[in-house]
Amino acid sequence: MTPSDRDLLSAPGPLLLLPEAVLLPEGPVDGWAVVVGDGRFEAVGPAAELERAHSELTPVRLPGRLLMPGFVDAHHHLTQSFGAALAFGEPSEIFRRVWVPLEGALDEESAYVAAKLAALEALRGGFTTVADAGTRAGVDVDVVASAARDAGIRCVLGLVCNDAGDPGGAGTPDPAVLENAEKHLARYADDPLVHASLAVSIPEAATEGPCGPPPGWRPRPAPSCRSTSTSTSRAWNAPSYGTGCGPWSICTASARSARSSSPRTPPSSPRTR
């Protein structure tokens, strides 16, 4: 990649990208290009066709690169990155030995650094969206949001809403928890990178309040997920929210290696969105 190509990648777009290979549902293919703008794929097709159709754009050539949609990590805890070196495959004990004391010791600065480190590691691995299922750190979750924004990653940001009191589930709803949940959902309504979510550590730790949709909201299909038995994260969005195509990422891994592991015949026509 030449210095001028790097400058073009910093432009606001739309951009006409010509990598060595493009990853399609059928597999990686050569000789294809992508037009991206406003964080989404606008067109995908044979390079010659897209160059003719978008003659006003200067092609950005990316030899040795594979271009593909960004991965989505459906369950993450961004403030736990400092504990990665301390985890040794303990399925249950690790909560008390590592995560509870580690996150409990984080202040705003260390929580921000931990979250940003995790976000940057996710980006390095090809993930452009992470769903954070909540933190035990005693800091405002906006610290995590700031770290995600500064790293440039999309984040479904969970606020822990354990309102049942007794972990056994016999408690009554805590109005303060539900009030904080409403504020959290409204806080990021217009944020381009951070999307609010509600989380409970285990189903028994919450009443029906946090587990049901707030008035006037509806579930957003993509990020709403329950990925393990020990944490639940649910995302809600205002009816006006429009889902779009995911962000794009450029992998520095060898495109040639990807092709050799999964050769495919490219489709015959370009795709547009």
**150 Cβ neighbours under 8 A, 6+ residues apart:** 116
pLDDT per residue of the chain (273 residues) written in tens, 0 to 9: 676 767 777 777 799 999 999 999 899 999 999 999 887 889 999 999 999 999 999 999 999 999 888 899 999 999 999 887 776 666 656 777 787 888 989 999 999 999 999 999 999 998 999 999 999 899 999 999 999 999 999 999 999 988 876 554 455 677 888 889 899 999 999 999 999 998 888 777 777 765 555 555 554 443 333 333 233 333 333 222 222 333 333 333 333 334 444 444 455 555 655
**For residue 14, cis peptide bond before it (omega within 30 degrees of 0):** yes
How far apart are alpha carbons 166 and 11 in whole angstroms?
A: 53
Closest CA to 271 of 16, 20, 18, 32: 32
Q: In which element (H, E) is residue 160 found?
A: strand 154-160
